[in-house]
Structure 1
Amino acid sequence: MSEPAAPHDPTVTEQDLTVVGHQLGRPARDVVEIAARCVCGNPLVVATAPRLGSGTPFPTVFYLTHPVVTAAVSRLEAEGAMYTMTDRLGEDTELARRYRAAHEHYLAQRHRIGELAGTGEVPEIEGISAGGMPTRVKCLHVLVGHSLAAGLGVNPLGDETLETISETWTPQRCACDPVWREA
């Protein structure tokens, strides 16, 4: 699998928020950056503040918004892929080491996004990343969002999930609904 699209501008525009709202079927909340974009420019992943405007702690920094990607990942979750991956973490020390490094990267990125958002420390989620990292796999959507935001080679199980869904969706091919931009 080749690298996702070239580096993009993470700046959030009103158009981005409109598109994300259409993707999610609800208004976007506390978006700090567009962490990954489709080859057409639409958001794929948003970086969300670690403390929402309501005061709620929010550990999922990299939130997958694109419904085609989300559906493909949901199918894998429905098949129980997380359980097999969690078992492999207990058996493969190199995979476990790389997954722990992904966890540390996620925490560092959450800190960076929190500073950009001005949310300050969020002690309720200190040391807790998302998706089950670093010892299990709980949510493939988080891992894929992390892989798309960070690039290949950072989150091994997110990368693996992207490879598994590559017949349904790939970062090199647009699967966006034109209505998102027209609305």
Structure 2
Amino acid sequence: MTRPPFAPVTEDDIAIVSAQLGRPARNVVGIAARCVCGAPTVVATAPRLADGTPFPTLYYLTHPAATAALSFLEATQVMNEYNQLLSDDEQVRSRYRRAHEGFLADRETLGTVPEIAGISSGGMPERVKCLHALAAHALAAGPGVNPIGDLALARAAWTPDVCECLDYTTADE
């Protein structure tokens, strides 16, 4: 099995992600998506944290503007609409299941954690639970892989193609 194409993580990336999160970044193994300016947007996180805790969320959205846009979207109760779409549309349901399976295969390249076997994130494959996780997966995997993540990104007032980053290089000065 080949590893997903995570960009190697640098010390600068860790500093930026830590600033984005407002806390130290933990167990980042790669950068799965970036803003047009190059700043990390989605990190890939180890499936088992350094303290031994299983961590099923491989793709973690870190960009503050993206996180805010997805939080706003979640507040509109759009997840109910997306859950209904999953219930009603066999094609979307099938694509969502394939996204779940691809997510699990990606995470498996980083190690096997029995406690989270078969568990992905965002509610996949049965429901829509967290748009942040689904959008992160869609950004990491690319368009057409996660249909609900793609829908959420299309509806959110944010895109990685327009930089809304803070100047993290001067944040500590």
CA displacement 1:118-155 (0-9 Å, x = unmatched): xx421110011110000100000001000110100100
> In 2, distance between residues paired with 1:97 and 1:9?
26
- 1:98-177 aligned at under 5 Å gives the runs 98-112=95-109, 114=110, 120-165=111-156, 168-177=157-166
Select 2:60's aligned residue among 41, 59, 63: 63
Is there any run of 5+ residues in structure 1 with no aligned partner, and where? 1-7, 115-119
Give identity over the alignment, percent. Answer: 58
Quote the offset at 1:50 in angstroms.
0.4
Matched residue type, 1:82: M
Residue 41 of structure 1 pairs with residue 38 of structure 2: yes
Q: Which residue of 2 aligns with 1:96?
A: 93
Quote the offset at 1:32 in angstroms.
0.2
Count of residue pairs the alignment pairs up:
167
> In 2, distance between residues paired with 1:19 and 1:42?
7
CA displacement 1:92-136 (0-9 Å, x = unmatched): 101100000000010011112x2xxxxx42111001111000010
Residues 38 and 122 (structure 1), Cα distance of their counterparts in 2 relative to 1, 3 Å cut: same
Matched residue type, 1:43: P
CA displacement 1:33-73 (0-9 Å, x = unmatched): 00001111100000000000010000000000001000000
Moved over 6 A (4+): none
Select 1:15's aligned residue among 4, 12, 21: 12
> In 2, distance between residues paired with 1:142 and 1:153?
16
Is there any run of 5+ residues in structure 2 with no aligned partner, and where? none
**SS in structure 1 at match of 2:16:** helix
Quote the offset at 1:9 in angstroms.
6.9
Conserved in 1, the CA contact under 8 Å of 2:6 and 2:44? no
> In 2, distance between residues paired with 1:121 and 1:98?
24
TM-score, scaled relative to structure 2? 0.94
Residues 9 and 156 (structure 1), Cα distance of their counterparts in 2 relative to 1, 3 Å cut: closer
Quote the offset at 1:181 in angstroms.
1.9
**SS in structure 1 at match of 2:32:** strand
Alpha carbon RMSD of aligned pairs, Å?
1.2
Matched residue type, 2:62: T
